[in-house]
Amino acid sequence: MSNVEALELSHSNTEGKHLGLALAVISCAQLMIVLDSTVVNVAIPTIHTALHFSQANLEWLITAYSLTFGGLLLFGGRTGDLYGKRRMFMIGIAVFALASLLGGFATNDLWLIITRGLQGVGGAIAAPTALSLIATNFSEGHQRNRAMGVYAAMSGGGGAVGLLLGGILVSYVSWRWIFFINVPIAAVVLFLAPRALNESQTTSGRLDVPGAITATGGMLSLVYGLSNASDHSWSSTATIISLVAAAVLLTSFIFIETRSAEPLMPLSIFKNRNRSGSYAMMLCVGIALFSNFYFLTQYLQNVLGYSPIRTGVGFLPMTVGIVFAAMLSSRLVGRIGIRIPLLVGPSLATIGILWITRITPTSSYFDVLGPLVVIALGMGFSFVPLTLTAVSGVKPHEAGLASALLNTMQQVGGALGLAVLATIAIDASKAKLLALHQTTTAAMKLATTHGYTTAFMVSAVFAFTGLLISIVVIRVPMIMPGELELNPEAHATVNN
């Protein structure tokens, strides 16, 4: 083989067969996965009534997806390295589509919760491999940067599309179509993927299955124990067994990771002070972001009487604010460093959440709009500097791990935080209703709103904790744009 032929073969293995089609396939898959993290929020009150969910089980519509997605994200990325990114991408999309189809036919709460968890499994395999396929199919430079720009737009816009689409489907068709709609999209992606995408080279090694099982199982047990406490009591047998199981499984996970030759999450990644601080901050951001979507969705529909589509439109300023602030902070960090954005972001989030605790059963949308925008700006200002801090200074082969861990922290933080805050909201609502000595509609709305505002107050504490971590732990004065290349393996996918 001549040098020219070898060069042409190498080039063909890097670039996708049809670049435009390849980008469309990857972007559609990412949009579908990101969209699903918000589309269910708008449908929660409708699903609550249709399938007779208990108030405590309702949060599992979000946490079942978030925990399996976040808990298996590193595992899913590793499968792509070992067995081929395109192959695992297609398997992840297939699992996601099958789970969506089954979820659309759900007849009870347990059925739907299980399928939501399966959606998270499919998403955890498809999302990291989709991101890596950009590096496999697009040459470094302008083509890859353009592909990353489209991919990031899909990631950022997925939240808004999910809220609007969820509102339209629930209002004019059926809540079941928020799941059914994934099936034809996935079918098109699966048909086009082998025709548009090149397969990646595989590497030798093995999967850390024990690590994935103990980590995800431990988190599920912990969330179940916290949720069960609100439905029964902290001293109930199920609560105690779940919390003990969580402690055993998570301790086992740490032990496995310290002993494994190829750990799912090398603990050495946490040795860097700034990186560990960014992970802790993202945990707090995840709690605040997920709780705002969850409780505000229910407040707008259950208390103010909004329709699902009106609720979706009502959340648009939040999505736009996050995207705008993220774009602005990405420009600012090159001029003023990350220190100021890392202080401004959590500060704004804390102020916005404290502001929203002032809502009442008679508040208008404009009482929600102001704090919603402030919270969105705070979140948006936080994402870019947190990502830069997490991946700064890592070894090239650990860049993907460092960024994936940041996304994992957001998802797991959101799930755990929602379990805690939902328990607090339910208990506060029950206590308020008892104190009122009434069961009228007005009393129910007052008690429900009190539960939400109590949860928001605790959420503000977590946001403020993120600010304290930024002040006390992180010690990076400046990160210049040239310090990071626009490489897909070094960027986290932040789901709104």
Q: Is the pLDDT of residue 357 over 80?
A: yes
Summarised one tens digit per residue, pLDDT across range 38-78 is 788 888 889 988 998 887 788 888 888 888 888 888 888 88
CA distance 103 to 113: 8
Cβ–Cβ < 8 Å for 308, 171 = yes
Cβ atoms < 10 Å from Cβ of 56: 18
The helices-and-strands tally (H runs, E runs) of the chain is 19, 0
Mean pLDDT of the chain: 82
Task: Report residue 131 CA to chain centroid gap.
Answer: 15
Q: Is the pLDDT of residue 90 over 90?
A: yes
Question: How much is the average pLDDT of 391-412?
Answer: 73
Q: Which pLDDT belongs to residue 469?
A: 94
In single-letter form, the type of residue at position 355 comes to: W
Q: How confident is the model at residue 237 (pLDDT cuts 50, 70, 90)?
A: confident
Q: How confident is the model at residue 429 (pLDDT cuts 50, 70, 90)?
A: very high
Summarised one tens digit per residue, pLDDT across range 295-304 is 998 899 989 9
Q: Is the pLDDT of residue 376 over 70?
A: yes
Assess whether 285 and 433 both reside in one domain: yes
Please report the sign of the dihedral spanned by the C-alpha atoms of residue 298, residue 300, residue 303, residue 307: negative
CATH number for the domain including 440?
Answer: 1.20.1250.20
Assess whether 310 and 408 both reside in one domain: yes
What does the block give as tokens for 216? 């995800």
Q: How confident is the model at residue 202 (pLDDT cuts 50, 70, 90)?
A: low
Cβ atoms < 10 Å from Cβ of 8: 12
Residue 3 lies inside a defined structural domain of this protein? no
Cβ–Cβ < 8 Å for 164, 313 = yes
Q: Which residues contact 38 (CB under 8 A, 6 or more apart)?
A: 158, 159, 162, 163, 166, 293, 496
Q: Which pLDDT belongs to residue 484?
A: 44
Assess whether 449 and 306 both reside in one domain: yes
Cβ–Cβ < 8 Å for 261, 428 = no
Assess whether 214 and 319 both reside in one domain: no
Residue 415 lies inside a defined structural domain of this protein? yes
Rg, Å, the chain Cα set? 22
Q: Which pLDDT belongs to residue 486?
A: 41
Percent of the chain exceeding pLDDT 90 equals: 30
Assess whether 138 and 235 both reside in one domain: no
Cβ–Cβ < 8 Å for 451, 425 = yes
Quote the domain boundaries for residue 213: 209-261
Residue 48 lies inside a defined structural domain of this protein? yes
Question: How much is the average pLDDT of 224-232?
Answer: 74
Residue 222's nearest CA partner among 420, 452, 451 is: 420
Q: CA-CA distances (angstroms) from residue 317 to 35, 267, 364, 374, 404?
A: 17, 39, 16, 10, 27
CA distance 206 to 262: 7
Residue 4 lies inside a defined structural domain of this protein? no
Assess whether 296 and 434 both reside in one domain: yes
Q: Which pLDDT belongs to residue 174?
A: 92
Rama region for 236: left / alpha / beta (φ>0; ψ in -120 to 50; rest)? beta
Question: How much is the average pLDDT of 351-380?
Answer: 93
Assess whether 441 and 349 both reside in one domain: yes
If one compares 199 and 360, the residue with the highest pLDDT of the two is 360
Percent of the chain exceeding pLDDT 70 equals: 85
Question: How much is the average pLDDT of 401-420?
Answer: 81
Q: Which residues of 331-370 are buried (b: 16+ CB within 10 A; e: fewer)?
A: ebbeeebbbebbbbbbbbbbbbbbbbbebebeeeeebbee
CA distance 53 to 378: 33
Cβ atoms < 10 Å from Cβ of 245: 17
Give the best-scoring range by mean pLDDT among 41-45, 75-79, 351-355, 431-435.
351-355
Q: Which pLDDT belongs to residue 478?
A: 46
Assess whether 176 and 221 both reside in one domain: no
Among 240, 261, 282, residue at a domain's last position: 261
State how many domains the chain has.
3
Q: Could you give the count of Cα atoms lying within 13 Å of 165 in the half-sphere of its Cβ?
A: 22
If one compares 495 and 316, the residue with the highest pLDDT of the two is 316
Residue 275 lies inside a defined structural domain of this protein? yes
Q: Is the pLDDT of residue 367 over 70?
A: yes
Summarised one tens digit per residue, pLDDT across range 55-66 is 778 888 888 888
Assess whether 385 and 479 both reside in one domain: yes
Decide: pTM greater than 0.95.
no
Q: How confident is the model at residue 138 (pLDDT cuts 50, 70, 90)?
A: confident
Question: How much is the average pLDDT of 277-291?
Answer: 88
Cβ atoms < 10 Å from Cβ of 156: 23
Assess whether 331 and 351 both reside in one domain: yes
Give the best-scoring range by mean pLDDT among 19-23, 271-275, 383-387.
271-275
Q: Is the pLDDT of residue 152 over 60?
A: yes
Assess whether 253 and 346 both reside in one domain: no
Residue 452 lies inside a defined structural domain of this protein? yes
Residue 2 lies inside a defined structural domain of this protein? no
Assess whether 178 and 50 both reside in one domain: yes
Q: How confident is the model at residue 2 (pLDDT cuts 50, 70, 90)?
A: very low
Q: How confident is the model at residue 5 (pLDDT cuts 50, 70, 90)?
A: very low
Q: Which pLDDT belongs to residue 148?
A: 64
Residue 1 lies inside a defined structural domain of this protein? no
Burial of 111 (0-12, 13-18, 19+ CB in 10 A): middle
CA distance 246 to 248: 5
Give the best-scoring range by mean pLDDT among 162-166, 191-195, 387-391.
191-195
DSSP state of 200: P
